[in-house]
Chain A
């Protein structure tokens, strides 16, 4: 027996006795088989990497569409299907239908159509995306728009249990994929534009019983924070957060409607038993109305899977003034950071900075711009961990009813939820990005329960004095904080990337192309025009000895809005040509899945 393995085995037994989370055996086994795509990112680390290499850099040019499937739903299609042991699980945006398909016969084994009040659509403005289902314990977990979390029998599609995760009438809706870690299903909440108080919640995988809920803001006990034990980056080292670390940073009880929602992709380190995720913007978008750092919105979190207790937390954008939600995926990878082998967490934030932290301790190691257009801050002070805001682009300093112009990135960030991928061979990250700037005008708003609580008007457009496009696909060295290569794109790249052992990276574009590029230098090797713009994530699996690569098409989501917002600014006049009109030349609505393979 391999000693390291033996050691892990013993450690595992000890952990189990000590009451550590029991791994879900079915999911663990399914994830170990590279023929499956058993979790939204393929694994618990959000690496979006597959060891399959039948399709590789030398033959990908011959790849062809193998089969297609219409989801029957329009609007934005985010996330991806799952594949477990020859069955594919396909989801749709609202009304959140789920299909189970036998890959051998392509027969639909079951279809689940949840009954949801369509009024929930009103709380989801401006699109009805859903980022996919999760698998574990013989069940498929669906986090519906109306906040109900359904556990379905993976064999029959019958509801095993169902739990309400929030009050949709108050804007607490869901777009995120649930995640199965150990014996729990983890889910978040949306509604930062409705004044929803964010939280991360764990349910028992077998029964749906609430295991814990940790809020993003408010009293220590409701955040599951220990003032003495929970640490954060302070003066160049980690120090306890102290008592009332959130309450002290809000005016009065504004934290109750303070946002910090949690609609991204979570990750899990089994050895550390920690769950990682990010929190979104503080509500409202008018910063003058909510003085203070608004902790712990815009933060990276590490919580114990069993108890939800916060081990460490780090706020990236204190007192947000631009809607730079911190929810993007946390990628766990063991990489060289400044010459030292590190158990790292890498995060590409909406605010345009890429962060590398020590995922064990929460220490801040690297924070650098991953798009040279980023201008709202000069840099992140590595001692305090705070961004150094440029006065000209501060919507707080310019005040309400003043239009702050030329802020880069735009509110949708240098990158939004579209997840990046990692390659263990190169040690680099491959990142779909936005290259968009904005004018931002905050205004006074009043909170009314269940009504929009936004408080800013935005106009977005391609980054000026650049290549004219709205996106880049980049390779990033997270140990050095440097771009390795960058491939310009006409539109924002709003599709999750996939890296494979075949030295090929895949991503989709808003025009609807699925592209295969070289791992080495980003050179385009192959592309195919799918039925609609791609905002879904690329996935791969093996069936009967053949490797397949698939992706959803279906334009929508905020990407569509971003494009549209590029149409004109106030003084451009109506009917101006711009990004959106251009996008209309390339694609139209339509939800479908396209699956590719090499010819026989």
Chain B
């Protein structure tokens, strides 16, 4: 019953706030109408763009030369995600972003944005910030 209830609430409010696990206090991301997000998640989107992740993972995270992040984020734990992005997976062609300060400083926000996309809560790649 509980998932159904949550689901109908989601529809009713058109808003999702997913609790963070180990990353930080408060919700991991908040999204309204599928594309309006909190400041944290918005920063994650900016990080995604500035690091040009779309060149390998596709403009909608659907995967190109690199795998679909919609799928991968269903599998990777937040810690595994961090290890992969910051350390890279050279054998697979995934570069290390450990020296890219835009990424290292905002790795949690990047995770929040991509997790929101993977969860299906953020329904399009391009997001805007919820107006205060």
Contacts and interface: CB of A to CB of B under 8 A. Distances in A.
Q: Which of A125, A458, A567 has the most CB of B within 10 A?
A: A125
Contacts of A595: none
A126 B126 contact: no
Given A126-B55, A565-B58, A574-B60, A457 B49 contact: yes
A446 interface: yes
Interface residues of A, number: 35
Interface size class of B (residues with CB under 8 A): 20 to 34
Given A126-B56, A451-B51, A451-B100, A574 B93 contact: no
Given A450-B99, A457-B59, A565-B58, A193 B124 contact: no
Interface string B73-101: 00000000000000010100101100111
Given A75-B93, A119-B95, A125-B55, A568 B62 contact: yes
A570 interface: yes
A118 interface: yes
A454 B52 CA distance: 7
A126 B56 CA distance: 6
Given A126-B56, A193-B52, A451-B100, A567 B93 contact: no
A282 B106 CA distance: 28
A160 interface: no
A105 interface: no
A489 interface: no
Contacts of A561: 55, 64-65
Nearest to B99: A450
A459 B96 CA distance: 25
A459 B100 CA distance: 25
Contact of B52 (A452, A570, A571, A574): A452
B52 A118 contact: no
Nearest to A117: B90
Nearest to A459: B59
18 contacts: A75-B93, A118-B90, A119-B95, A121-B90, A126-B55, A443-B49, A448-B100, A448-B101, A448-B102, A452-B55, A454-B52, A457-B54, A457-B125, A560-B65, A561-B55, A565-B58, A570-B125, A574-B60
Given A119-B96, A458-B59, A568-B60, 10 more contacts: A118-B90, A125-B52, A445-B50, A451-B100, A452-B50, A452-B51, A457-B49, A458-B54, A561-B65, A570-B125
What are the nearest 6 A-B pairs in CB distance? A122-B95, A452-B52, A564-B64, A454-B52, A126-B65, A118-B90
